[in-house]
Structure 1
Amino acid sequence: MQDPLPPTADDMDRCVDDLRTALAAHGIALPSLRLDLPAFAGTYAPPAVLVALGNCNTATARRLIAVLHGSARTASPPPLDLDLLAVPKAVPELRRTVRDYLGVPCADVQLCVTELVANVIRHVGEGTPIRVRVACTDDGGRVRVEVTDPDARALPVLVHADGDEECGRGLALLDAVALRWGVEQRADGKTVWCELDSPEE
Structure 2
Amino acid sequence: MQLEVRPDPAEVGRARRWARSRLAGSGIEVDEPLAETLILLVSELVTNAVVHTGCPAVLRLSLPGVAAETATVRLEVADASSRAPVPRCVDGDATGGRGLALVDGLADRWGWSPEGAGKRIWCELDRCDGDAEGAAAYTGGVSAYEGLAFEAV
Aligned to 1:150: 80
Counterpart check, 1:81 vs 2:10: no
Runs (4+) off by over 6 Å: none
Higher relative contact order (CA 8 A, sep 6+): 2
Counterpart check, 1:134 vs 2:61: yes
Counterpart check, 1:120 vs 2:41: no
Q: What fraction of aligned residue pairs are identical, expressed as a percent?
A: 38
- TM-score normalised by L of structure 2: 0.69
CA, structure 1 residues 187+81, in 2 after alignment: closer, same or farther (shift >3 Å)? closer
Count of matched residue positions in the alignment of Structure 1 and Structure 2 = 119
- Find the aligned partners of 1:123 and 1:87 in 2 and give their Cα distance: 11
- Find the aligned partners of 2:115 and 2:126 in 1 and give their Cα distance: 27
Q: Tell me how far 1:91 sits from its aligned partner.
A: 1.8
Counterpart check, 1:181 vs 2:110: yes
Structure with max Cα Rg: 1
Contact 2:5/2:15 (<8 A) preserved: no
Q: Tell me how far 1:98 sits from its aligned partner.
A: 0.7
- Find the aligned partners of 2:43 and 2:90 in 1 and give their Cα distance: 18
Aligned to 1:192: 121
- Find the aligned partners of 2:7 and 2:19 in 1 and give their Cα distance: 16
Question: AA paired with 1:143?
Answer: V
CA, structure 1 residues 198+100, in 2 after alignment: closer, same or farther (shift >3 Å)? farther
Residue 104 of structure 2 aligns to a residue whose secondary structure is helix
**Stretches of structure 2 lacking an aligned partner (at least 5 in a row):** 136-153
For residues 65-120 of structure 1, what are the alpha-carbon distances to aligned partners after superposition, in whole Å with 9 as ceiling and x for unaligned? xxxxxxxxxxxxxxx21122131212222212111211222111111111111111
RMSD (Å) for aligned C-alpha atoms: 2.1
Aligned partner (choices 21, 33, 51) of residue 100 of structure 1: 21
Contact 2:4/2:58 (<8 A) preserved: yes
Aligned to 2:141: none
For residues 140-195 of structure 1, what are the alpha-carbon distances to aligned partners after superposition, in whole Å with 9 as ceiling and x for unaligned? 5221000000111x211123432222221111111111001101113411100000
Aligned to 2:88: 159
- TM-score normalised by L of structure 1: 0.54
